[in-house]
A and B are shown apart, each in its own frame.
Chain A
């Protein structure tokens, strides 16, 4: 399973893999300090989970990494490059793709169109190239087959079930050839069978060298999938380490359960 080739995904060379480093990031909204000196690492080619109680700042951290928010202070480093303040599209072009907490697909576009929208290349040629022909279509079909949605290729994305839309979002993000994938609550709203399938896809992609940062509430999903776990509480990291270590950390237990 671990070395199985996923058609449509090019294995990522170890030499080109980059880690993410979040360094002392602050982010406030009015009087609410969503992140305070948030610092953690996402190691290349590993699966890192970002967990914490509701309102702990997980999605804010995600948005700061993916460019949707500009940190008030601190930096987000991709390898040795500071990407804080970059636009989301520019960050995607650095091969960092994300999905959203509330699944967002282009509902009135076909499944195939949803697949070819994500772009990694820029420039006039890429812009005015026919997106639904040749190599792009082949890759889209292979990735749709990978997540079991090929038969819906010409359907409107809005007609897919919630779980299928989640898988479509994952497959579409893969079209941008990401080295790092940020998944915001990927198992939210999915049934146990679908969650198992999703975990399988993540493992297969990770085996090809894709790095994952996953925000998740489903502790079972996190503990069996993640190599590292980062725990946020009140916008700061209170624990980081192997799943077993984090699970046994009193600070984590206190954050989740109270005194």
Chain B
């Protein structure tokens, strides 16, 4: 609760534009990572379709704005719902596969959506992209608006993740990850559970994509389907701890500011490459030394801490106690 109060109060204390943007992006990645964790962490299905839903959310929201005049910040939940319905259809097919096959099918979905965005020129503008009307807002308030909007989405994503983890549905997802056949034999409708998890995950990616389209006032197939967005989501979740509520949040809050400061401080000629290399290095280090991520590794280290020192102590009467007594400290 305290970190939330601090985050809510920050813009009132003269947060500069760079930090405001940095935190907006961090919230966006954290919310998307929490969403990805529902299918990739709880359920154990590594989805690359979330990038497709991010881009799809951008385009659907952008088209609603340009054709119908519906403001993105109001329609983004609806955009998320539409993309979740698409996820239900995609998941109905894709979730019949597992492991590497599922990864490939979901990547194919992302490429198909990108391909459509690129080639349906009359609708999407093709490679030239889609320019969105600017928000009629004081530029100073604009940053605050996006900051609070994505903070709200992040809080919602965490609340949903906590609710799922506590529910029978969440237990079912974890059971699917542990042993899908056994889960099905325990009465869990694994197909339904996986599709619902995929839909929830897609909702957060699509909402983030929609808001991001308005943030940039522009969408094109390269920006909306940039592979680095998907890589960030996955690496942040793995770094923090996959399958936990707070792991993806921790990963995003560590990795995104680190990347941003690197890009900020390094010469522009090498910043892009170093930033990408950093992701690769983090991925390798996590896989090699911390496959369970920071949170779970820390929990394991704490639980493996040697027990308190055992020593003989005198009882009140002054006689030595029988045997050894555990003493705290």
Chain A positions near chain B (C-beta within 8 angstroms): 66, 68, 87-90, 92-93, 97-98, 100, 104-109, 113, 116-120, 122, 126-132, 172-173, 176
30 A-B residue pairs with Cβ-Cβ distance under 8 Å, sorted by A, are A66-B185, A87-B191, A88-B185, A89-B187, A89-B188, A92-B186, A93-B187, A104-B179, A105-B182, A106-B175, A106-B178, A106-B179, A107-B178, A108-B178, A109-B171, A113-B171, A117-B172, A117-B183, A117-B186, A117-B188, A119-B186, A119-B187, A120-B187, A122-B189, A127-B168, A128-B169, A129-B167, A130-B166, A130-B167, A131-B171
**Which single member of A66, A88, A89, A128 contacts B167 (CB below 8 Å)?**
A128
B184 at the interface (CB under 8 A from A): yes
Contact B167 A131 (CB under 8 A): yes
Distance between B38 CB and nearest chain A CB, rounded to angstroms? 13
Distance between B199 CB and nearest chain A CB, rounded to angstroms? 13
Contact A130 B178 (CB under 8 A): no
**Which single member of B174, B184, B189, B193 contacts A106 (CB below 8 Å)?**
B174
Contact B186 A176 (CB under 8 A): yes
Label chain B's interface by main secondary structure: helix
Contact A119 B184 (CB under 8 A): no
Asked if A109 meets B168 with Cβ closer than 8 Å, knowing A87-B189, A89-B187, the reply is: no
**Which single member of B167, B179, B185, B191 contacts A127 (CB below 8 Å)?**
B167
A117 vs B185: C-alpha distance in the bound complex, in angstroms? 10
Contact A68 B181 (CB under 8 A): yes
**Which single member of A100, A109, A176 contacts B187 (CB below 8 Å)?**
A176
Distance between B252 CB and nearest chain A CB, rounded to angstroms? 25
- Tally inter-chain residue pairs, CB-CB below 8 A: 85
For A109, the chain B residues whose CB sits under 8 A away are 171, 174-175, 178
For A176, the chain B residues whose CB sits under 8 A away are 186-187
Distance between B19 CB and nearest chain A CB, rounded to angstroms? 38
Query: Taking CB as reference atom, which chain B residue is nearest A90?
Result: B189
B163 at the interface (CB under 8 A from A): yes
B190 at the interface (CB under 8 A from A): yes
Chain B positions near chain A (C-beta within 8 angstroms): 163, 166-169, 171-172, 174-175, 178-179, 181-191, 193, 196
Contact A119 B178 (CB under 8 A): no
Asked if A118 meets B171 with Cβ closer than 8 Å, knowing A106-B179, A106-B182, A128-B163, the reply is: no
For A105, the chain B residues whose CB sits under 8 A away are 182
Label chain A's interface by main secondary structure: loop
Query: Taking CB as reference atom, which chain A residue is nearest B185?
Result: A88
- Beyond the given A109-B178, A117-B188, please list 17 additional residue pairs across the A-B interface where CB-CB is below 8 A: A66-B185, A68-B185, A87-B184, A87-B191, A89-B189, A89-B190, A92-B187, A93-B187, A97-B187, A100-B182, A100-B185, A106-B175, A107-B178, A117-B175, A119-B188, A127-B168, A132-B171
Asked if A118 meets B167 with Cβ closer than 8 Å, knowing A104-B179, A109-B178, the reply is: no
Contact A118 B168 (CB under 8 A): no
Distance between A134 CB and nearest chain B CB, rounded to angstroms? 12
A89 vs B187: C-alpha distance in the bound complex, in angstroms? 4
Query: Taking CB as reference atom, which chain B residue is nearest A127?
Result: B169
Contact A116 B178 (CB under 8 A): no
For B186, the chain A residues whose CB sits under 8 A away are 89, 92, 117-119, 172-173, 176
Which 10 A-B residue pairs are closest in the complex by CB-CB distance? A92-B187, A131-B168, A118-B186, A106-B178, A104-B182, A119-B187, A88-B184, A127-B169, A89-B189, A117-B175
User: Of A66, A92, A105, A172, which is in contact with the most chain B CB atoms at under 10 Å from its CB?
Assistant: A92
